[in-house]
Amino acid sequence: MGTVKKTRKFATVKRVIGQRDARLKKNQLSGEAEANKKKKENEVIREVPQVSSALFFKYNTALQPPYSVLIDTNFLSHTVRAKLDLLDSLMDCLYAKCTPIITSCVMAELEKLGPKYRIALRIARDERWETLKCDHKGTYADDCIVDLCVRHKVYIVGTNDKDLKRRLRKIPGVPIMSVARGKYVIERLPDAPEK
């Protein structure tokens, strides 16, 4: 028998497991976490948001005279610009008794706007209108109005603000009133006459 030749092999490297190898325990745990995330994303949500009992499909049955109209800052300024009487114009538009409601946020916004809006502020401070105290921080009236409409489906919102209108259209059963062509116009009121 001959002897085995022992020759050195050049360029051989000792095999080492890489940091990203799936066999390592830390990589196995992260792989499981990612798989769980994907499962949750693909899972169908079985929750349905609670719809107000006042809604019958897209119509709001809680709206009935005397109507409560939430008034926004720019609605008041457009009313002044069009030289309209607030209460009379509301009644002409809705053919019913109306109670304008002004929140403390709208009052604060009008006070911040300064002397240019002093007539609108004087109209807002009238004792005939109902005032609503806000229980949140800040004076951003749009968020306040949207929050009120989501919680209570008994308001018609008077606004000319495009962004606020867009936000309110996403809430079912909230009619929007605005000033257009020298009069008040209402949209999304179920029995509103088509002209």
DSSP secondary structure of 103-165: EHHHHHHHHHH-GGGHHHHHHHT-TTSEEE---SSS--HHHHHHHHHHH---EEEE---HHHH
Is there a cis peptide before residue 65, judged by omega within 30 degrees of 0?
no
Is 92 among the domain residues?
yes
Q: How confident is the model at residue 195 (pLDDT cuts 50, 70, 90)?
A: very low
Model confidence pLDDT, tens digit, residues 172-183? 889 999 999 999
pLDDT for 55: 78
Q: What is the CATH number of the domain that holds 76?
A: 3.40.50.1010
Is 171 among the domain residues?
yes
Residues 125-142 as b/e (b if ≥16 CB within 10 A, e otherwise) read: eeeebeebebeeeebebb
Number of structural domains (the chain) is 1
Model confidence pLDDT, tens digit, residues 44-53? 767 666 777 7
Give the predicted TM-score (pTM) of the model. 0.70
Q: Which domain holds residue 66?
A: 58-187
* Cα 92-108-146 angle, rounded to 5 deg: 60
